[in-house]
Structures are given as structure tokens and as C-alpha cells.
Structure 1
Amino acid sequence: MGWLSMEDIIAKLIRLGLKEYEARVYATLVIIGPAKASDIAKESGVPRPRVYDVLKELHRKGFVEISEGSPTYFRAVDPEKVIATLRDEYIRSAEEVIIMLKSYQRERQEEWLPVWYLQGEWSVKNRVEELASRAEREFVAAFMDLKLALKFRKAFENAKSRGITPIILFITKTRCYESHLNELGKVYFIPLSKILEGEPRDFMEAVARALFSTKERYIVKGLFIRDSQESILVYEEGGLKGLMVKISFIPVIQREVIEYYLRKT
């Protein structure tokens, strides 16, 4: 990693809890060493009338030391000690906020909302991992993207930690990454052409064609099903998105489609 610029350092100090002028003054003192207020103002870009107040506040926090005299000099306390203090305070504040927010939560029966839209890879992965953590009997997945499956490794590990061997169907033209994929669970492969060829002959084939079509705007990349009760459909539309469904008959149908093609592998 390259050297951080002064602005990068200031931004990180602000993120840790210092105000902008405090971050500028402290960073400047670390770099230039003991200095007079006038020099600090010049080097930091903080207006001179504000420098004394900022130095006073940093001294109160224990981040700056003062040598009284004519003129008065200021120096920064060791950055390792200051950053450790800021880090500990940041973590403590975060923990306190969590406790406070939870304590204010009202006990209520949440409105039953059966469908949720998920935006972005982080959100999708987080929800899939939670889904696997709630599995009681089985955790089933289907993918049209082999590499995408590896991104959900933690979800499969969550299922395994509950004594469940994930069932994974790959709908693909190739079996690359097979050695890595086998680590995720019990793996099956079926060519996409086998699903899309010809006219559908029964209900399951019709549903599968609709589900795994590559001609739609929303291209399905993966599907996760927990205990035939809840599912998350992962699709591509300007980025990774998801559709979480708790209407039981939909996960049941999705699970039956996968089972239909598992019997054909």
C-alpha cells in the first residue's frame, strides 16, 4: 500500500472521532514536531483565531502537550497512544449505540411482509448466509454461474455447521472449478441446453424454462432454498440483486423444479 496523503490521514482521523480542525492540527504537530501556535496555523491551514481553541481541546483530551513560556510550544502525544485511545472510544461508542437502540426497540408483532428486494452483493450475501443459518432440514441451491457459487462459501459452511450437507445444482456448459465446488456440498451438474431445448412437456419443464431463461432482462444467477419454506433468487440487473420470498408455495415449487432436474443428472 502506498503512502497516504495528508488529506487521507485527516479523513481517517475524522472517521475515528476527531473534528476536522482537530485532525489537521494534530496531524500537523506529529509531522513538524513541537511548534508555536502561529506555525501550527500556517502549516495546518486552520485559521489562527481558531488554533488556540483547537489546541486547548486536544490538550484536554490528552492528545497534545503544552510547554508554557514565551512563546508557548505545543507537541503531539505519540500517535500510537492517541490512535489506540480513539479506536477504543470508537468501539465503545459503537457497542453502546447497539445496546441503546436494542433497549428502545418496542416489542411488537411485525407486519408480515412475504417479499423483500435485496440490493447489492453485500446485502445478498448477508441474507443468504442468514438463510443457511436458519436451515433445519436442508439447504438447496442452483447456480448458472460457477464463480458466483464460491462467493457464497460462508453460507454453505453455515449450513454444514448445522449438520446439513448442502445440495447444489449447477446449470452450466462446463465443469471447471469442480474440485473447489465439491467442497461446498453435494454437487450435481446439468447442461443448460437440456433445460431449454425443445418445447416444455410438463409443468416442471415450463417453470424451469421461465426460471432459467437467459433472454429475460433479469438474468437468474443463483437460487437458494431453505427447507422448502423460504428462498432467495439472485439475479443480475446492473449489479447483483436478490428477491427473498417467504410465500411458502413458491419455495416449494422452486424446490420441486430443482429435484426434477436432479433426477436427470
Structure 2
Amino acid sequence: MIDDALLSQLKGIGMSEYEAKVYAILSALRVASAREVHEQTQIPRGRIYETLAALAKNGFIVSSGKSPVRYSPVDVTQTFERLKRESVNSLDGLYQSLKALETETPEPHMQGYKLCTEWTRDNQIRMMLHRAKSEIILLCNDEGFLRKYRSEIARAAKRVPLYLVIGNEELAESAPVKCYTGGNDIRSALFYPKGEDAGGLSVKLVLMADRTESLSILEESGRVTGIFICPDMYAGYLSRKFVQEIVPVKKPRKST
């Protein structure tokens, strides 16, 4: 009986179901006629010859004699060394083709991804803080977020310029890094939206990294959602505007 695991592995290298069965039987018998292969595999007689021909064409078996023609597998070591070389060459060719596409394909359009679970939002925030290479702008007015990512924010600030913009200056006392406040536009549009357009929607956090990607955490009617955009075509413009408008928070002097 042919081992199912062996058949699965043979199909994994590109053989059909019939080819895998025939090759496995010939590997066990070492030499057999088409009729004997048919009897051992129960493959329809009309399919035996085309299956043997396909295996021979692909270099897995050879034939000898005339009446009847007998078939035997090519040396296994020789066969699989050839397969390894062909696989490496094929992968190398695929790699070169894909690299060529990278240089020929225009820059991708802006793409947005909705992050519906706390786990995905949490991981994206941590990854953005970790992978930023030139600048981080973090707008946050939620003390819970600042506590949760305190260590990541502090580590990121040691590597790249980090601007932590808060809507409530009291948060500066517990923030892990230097804080900033924005002008009226930032306060009214992001931290304290008013009017019908707000619709109960509040911004919990906005994170922009390297002026190329952004993550917004929004809450509406108690439901929190994250929107990750990369590449973000507006991140560069907004980042420059924020840096121009924000001012450092002056911590109150301690009384003596």
C-alpha cells in the first residue's frame, strides 16, 4: 500500500496524483512494465502510458526494452540534486522579476486599514513607535494611553525627535517626555470638536511616523476604532504644520 504522506510530499513538488502513485511504486519495485504498474496502482489503463510519459519527460524515470517496455526510476540522489538546482534557479528568476517590478511600478496609492480589535491597535502603536526612523508626532489627550505606552514613548524619544502634543496641560506632569500644546485649530479640531459634524466622535490618539504613515484611534458612542494609513499622502503636510504651530508646555515651578 502506498503511504499517503509520501504521496502528499510528491504532489508537493508538482506531481499529479497519478504521477505520484506511479513514481512511488516504481521506486519500490525498481523496474516494472506498464501492465504491472497498472495492477499495483489501479490507475485506469488508459492513463498509465500518459503518466509514464510525463514522468519520463520530467526526468524522473527511464524506459528500456521493447516487449514489454520496462520502466525504472532514475537514481534518487541524481534526481533530487537536479530538482534542488532547478528550484534555486526558479526562485532566483522569480526574485529578479519581482525586484524589477519594484523599480518599474509607481509608488502605491494611499491605503487605509481599519483596526477593529484592541490587540491590532495596540500592536500597531507599538510597532510604529519602534520602527520610526526620523520623527514621531503623537497627539494624545488620554491619560490611560500615556500610561500604557509610557516606556515605548520614552525609548522612541531617545532615538528620534518625538513631539507629544496634549490637549490638557495637566497631563504633562505624568507624561514620560517633553510635552507640547497646539493652537486653537488643533485643540478644536482634534481634542475638543464641537458642532453637529462631531456627531459624538472623539479622537483618542493620533500617531504619525516619519511623515509617511498615520494611525488614528477614534471613539464614537463607546466604540473604539483605529484607522491606519500607509502611505499617508497628507502626513507630511500635517506633520510640518503641527511642528510649526505647537509650543512647549511650561511646567509650573515648585513652591519653596
Scaled by the length of structure 2, the TM-score of the pair is 0.49
Q: Which has the larger radius of gyration?
A: 2
- Scaled by the length of structure 1, the TM-score of the pair is 0.48
